[in-house]
Amino acid sequence: MWKGRFKEQTAELLQQYSESISFDWRLWRHDIEGSIAHSAALEAAGLLSADERASIVAGLREIGGEIERGDFQFKRELEDIHMNIESELTRRIGDPGAKLHTARSRNDQVALDLRLYLRAESDAIVERLAAIQRELVALGSRHSEVIIPGYTHLQRAQPVYFAHHLLAYVEMFQRDVERVVDCRKRINVLPLGSGAIAGSTILLDRELVAQLLDFPAITQNSMDAVSDRDFAVELLSALALVAMHLSRLSEDVILWASSEFKFITISDAFTTGSSLMPQKKNPDVAELTRGKAGRVYGNLVSLLTTLKGLPMTYNRDMQEDKEPVFDSIDTIKAALAVFAAMLGGIRANPENCAAAVGDPNLLATDLADYLVNHGVPFRKAHEVIGKAVALCAERRCELTELSLADYQALSPAFEADLFEMLTVENSMAARRAIGAPSPQNVAFQLNRWSSRLGNEN
């Protein structure tokens, strides 16, 4: 295709090394879509007749159908998806095919294909994020009464609704949605018409192409357009945050499913056993998903590294953009899907949760708040309760087992109503500020998200 000036054949070793068809075949749909739009501009410019364009469109559709059915034979010696399709088209329809690449370079063509692909995948990821949010809300709703210890430092901190904990992840995934949507704005810009680097001496109507491919904006600098992969890096960054969120959710699921916590049971369908130990039932989905943060982070590093220090404009290094992008998208889509399905099969174990949340230490802060409400400055109240906790540790008893006299010895502000106040129910009921886990707030949030996400009730 570009061999006019070359005397020697391309080395077989180089062909193997530099081909991209083994992975960029995935862009076939977008390549064809882009070529059809490009051919419209060529026709509008008088460079193709209506008949020529019709034969191009028909030929491309035919090839597309074959690829879809798995009947198309890709050739490594044709390097990439662009050349594979163009070359086969020309073989089939002759001269009109040979005209298709007029005023176009693979540099702007691949930028177009990648943008079309990522635009579609962004939408798919947004859908899967909504699906996992839906399952989190559903799981919380199925167990809306269950209270568990909330943890900081993996130490029991304060009681929270199980649903409140799950809703924290719904918030995270919502930010992921927003980031992907923001990124999509920057994906959704037409690069075609930038040529190799400097547009073309043949004038085409870029606005027509933008309209046909549904791009609301057009790149404004041809050199930038062919060397820009920001949108891919930005998406990889957004996906790294999704992976991070999934890794945290995984950690929680793994802890909750352990013998020591036992807050949840995962269905058999989403656990696996051991080849050696007959009793094992492992939370593999959560482990694998936690582990996959590695590859999603690694893909981001990979692309950032590749782009570092490249001179303008297109350099062949940039062919390395596709595999990390494909891998992160595949990984995140699969992880969201399987995790959502697993969530559907999780049930909480109410007795174990209740036993854990019965730990009176979880109410220590409430005791300090009690003193504050009785006029003690918070720092002093905190110190008083700290001493009560230490006294319990010494006596090997619980905060609920100290007597009123014990408490009053620590602070005269304690009164007899202390013990009535000191219940998980009271603790939850009082937490009414925006975002805090009072029963009303949690119910409100479950409802808010259910309607927003379209959960069935």
Nearer to its own copies, 341 or 409 (CB): 341
| Structure tokens that stand for 32 in this block | 């064809």
Place of tokens 């995935």: 26
Identify the helix (H) or strand (E) that includes residue 433.
none
CA-CA distance, 118 to 326, in Å (whole number)?
Answer: 9
Cis bond before residue 272 (omega within 30° of 0):
no
Residue 339 CA to its chain's centroid (Å): 12
User: Nearest approach, Cβ of 310 to its own copies (angstroms)?
Assistant: 6
Instruction: Give how far Cα 330 sits from Cα of 9, 124, 141, 325, 334, Å.
Output: 37, 11, 30, 9, 6
Residues paired with 239 in a beta bridge: none
User: Nearest approach, Cβ of 64 to its own copies (angstroms)?
Assistant: 20
Place of tokens 């807050």: 263
- Measured CA angle at 138 (ends 136, 144), to 5 deg: 100
CA-CA distance, 237 to 226, in Å (whole number)?
Answer: 21
Burial degree of 375 (CB within 10 A; 0-12, 13-18, 19+) = exposed
User: Nearest approach, Cβ of 73 to its own copies (angstroms)?
Assistant: 19
DSSP 3-state of 388: helix
User: Nearest approach, Cβ of 293 to its own copies (angstroms)?
Assistant: 5
- Concatenate the DSSP letters of all residues of 187-230 into one string: H-EE-TT-TTTT--SS---HHHHHHHTT-SEE-S-HHHHHH--H
Nearer to its own copies, 66 or 369 (CB): 369
Nearer to its own copies, 67 or 167 (CB): 167
Nearer to its own copies, 66 or 323 (CB): 323
CB-CB contact of 137 with 450 (8 Å):
yes
Instruction: Give how far Cα 393 sits from Cα of 43, 248, 396, Å.
Output: 85, 32, 5
User: Nearest approach, Cβ of 62 to its own copies (angstroms)?
Assistant: 20
Nearer to its own copies, 35 or 445 (CB): 445
Identify the helix (H) or strand (E) that includes residue 264.
strand 264-266
Nearer to its own copies, 67 or 381 (CB): 381
DSSP 3-state of 50: helix
Q: Which residues contact 102 (CB under 8 A, 6 or more apart)?
A: 42, 47, 202
CB-CB contact of 243 with 334 (8 Å):
no
User: Nearest approach, Cβ of 52 to its own copies (angstroms)?
Assistant: 10
Nearer to its own copies, 65 or 374 (CB): 374
> For residue 365, what is the DSSP state?
H
Nearer to its own copies, 281 or 347 (CB): 281
Cα–Cα nearest to 299, from 319, 315, 323, 316: 323
Catalytic residues: 153, 274
| Structure tokens that stand for 247 in this block | 């890794």
User: Nearest approach, Cβ of 214 to its own copies (angstroms)?
Assistant: 17
User: Nearest approach, Cβ of 143 to its own copies (angstroms)?
Assistant: 16
